[in-house]
Amino acid sequence: MTEAVMMSVEALQNRVLAIFERAGLNKIQAAALAHVIVAGERDACKSHGIYRIEGALRTVKAGKVKPDAVPALAPDDGSAIVRVDAQGGFANAAFELGVPALAERATRLGIAAMVINDCSHFSALWPEVEAVTARGLAALAMCPSYATVAPSGGSKPLLGTNPFAFGWPRKDQPPYVFDFATSVAARGEIELHRRAGKQLPEGWAIDAAGNPTTDPVAALEGAMMPFGGHKGSAIATMIELLAGIMIGDLTSPEVLDYLGTTILAPFHGELIIAMSPEAFAKGRPGDPFARAEVLFETIVGQGARLPSQRRFAARIQSEAKGISLTAAEIAQLDALLAG
Ligand code: NDP
Ligand code: PYC
């Protein structure tokens, strides 16, 4: 039985930041990574929390991401597209640079999109859609990954676990947010099952011969399944098209060709779309935010929960009492800090 250790959000933030700075990341890269990783741990999203530090550092060591990259925002060309070149660094620093321009243009034009190119991306998308909803806008975010998921009806890895997130701003309470892999589960969940020596639920994966498997090792060597059969497969394909091909960046199979492995963070682009509900609803009856509240109340009124409710509850708990980490996790953080 491993004993839990409580650590404040701030203390974990400082520790993760120090690990990245010690590993040679510049301040903007280190701060942006520490922010999303600690947010994942704080919100009980273990698949994109501190266990991802090692993968990020491995990617730096392998020379597949630039630790000192300074992202560049393209000048405003009057269009609705905000372009950020991550310059080979992590997506998170590029996102932070571009989000004020994205919000300004979406507020002014009604809709705007941010294209991030040439980035390494391993994180959850909800911190990004939450940054947009905090500015009073609805948001969609998506990106490819690397070829690890078989298309519905197929048997070989081709699509990525391609995350897809949506956010809707709410007054005086956390936004409505969902954020999911378009595979049955994130690949990080399979890795966590492998580390814990646990079998996978049925239906998550097939082995290299195309047979269903609950063994996480066989799943990592074989292929994951899209969520919802042909429906998840089609959404994952849409993400390859919009956030890969349309933005002139790599698709999941191209990412795997480029990296040659799935133990490094994938390198590709990302697409974030911001929309002003007031602008879209202009001249139509009813306040869109008030109407959305009626919908949310009706969902909850049936006994269902809203997506992200579990996460927001974990956040309140972590902020009040600290984040619960195992002794093994603390030892891992100490080892990473010692280099
Ligand atoms: P989950 O299946 O755990 O959750 C998906 C969403 O559904 C969450 O918003 C969750 O809210 C919500 N949800 C879960 N159960 C319910 C329920 N009973 N009722 C209503 N809503 C519910 O996520 P995944 O494993 O698919 O993905 C985890 C993370 O992995 C995501 O953050 C994603 O961005 C990330 N990812 C990143 C990739 C990358 O390449 N960068 C690739 C793939 C995934 P809640 O959190 O509150 O439970
Ligand atoms: O959990 O599927 C995943 C994932 C892939 C890249 C980053 N996260």
pLDDT band at 54 (very low <50, low <70, confident <90, very high): very high
Question: Is 47 an annotated catalytic residue?
Answer: yes
Complex ipTM value: 0.98
Average pLDDT over residues 143-153: 97
Judged by its nearest atom, the ligand closest to the C-alpha of residue 187 is 2
Judged by its nearest atom, the ligand closest to the C-alpha of residue 263 is 2
Domains and CATH numbers, the chain: 4-183+226-279+318-338 (3.30.1370.60)
pLDDT band at 316 (very low <50, low <70, confident <90, very high): very high
Show the ligand 2 pocket: residues with CB < 6 angstroms. 47, 122, 145, 161, 181, 186-188, 266
Average pLDDT over residues 148-170: 97
pLDDT of residue 91 exceeding 80, the answer is yes
pLDDT band at 94 (very low <50, low <70, confident <90, very high): very high
pLDDT band at 3 (very low <50, low <70, confident <90, very high): confident
The pLDDT score that the predictor gives to residue 121 is 96
Distance 338 CA to ligand 2 centre (A): 27
pLDDT of residue 183 exceeding 90, the answer is yes
Distance 121 CA to ligand 1 centre (A): 16
pLDDT of residue 126 exceeding 90, the answer is yes
Q: Could you write out the DSSP letters of every residue in 272-319?
A: EEEE-HHHHHTTSSS-HHHHHHHHHHHHHHTT---TTHHHHHHHHHHH
Between CA 199 and CA 201 the distance in angstroms is: 7
Distance 313 CA to ligand 1 centre (A): 15
Query: Strand 81-85 to strand 111-120: parallel, antiparallel, or no bridges (unpaired)?
Result: parallel
Residue 189 CB-half CA count within 13 A: 17
Average pLDDT over residues 186-209: 95
The ligand 2 atom nearest the CA atom of 122: 7
Q: Point out the catalytic residue in the list 35, 41, 48, 130.
A: 48
Atom 5 of ligand 1, nearest CA residue:
180
Question: Is 193 an annotated catalytic residue?
Answer: no
pLDDT of residue 2 exceeding 80, the answer is no
The pLDDT score that the predictor gives to residue 168 is 99
pLDDT of residue 139 exceeding 90, the answer is yes
* Phi, psi of 301, deg, nearest 5: -60, -25
Q: Which residues contact 169 (CB under 8 A, 6 or more apart)?
A: 133, 134, 135, 136, 137, 138, 175, 277, 289
pLDDT digits (tens, 9 = 90+) for 100-117: 999 999 999 999 999 999
pLDDT band at 29 (very low <50, low <70, confident <90, very high): very high
pLDDT of residue 1 exceeding 80, the answer is no
- The mean of the pLDDT values for the chain is 97
The answer to whether 276 touches 259, Cβ cutoff 8 Å, is no
Q: Point out the catalytic residue in the list 8, 47, 155, 324.
A: 47
Distance 139 CA to ligand 2 centre (A): 21
Atom 37 of ligand 1, nearest CA residue:
124
pLDDT band at 4 (very low <50, low <70, confident <90, very high): confident
Question: Is 189 an annotated catalytic residue?
Answer: yes
**Is the pTM above the cut of 0.90?**
yes
The pLDDT score that the predictor gives to residue 53 is 97
Average pLDDT over residues 250-265: 97
Taking the alpha carbons at both ends of the chain, their separation in whole angstroms is 27
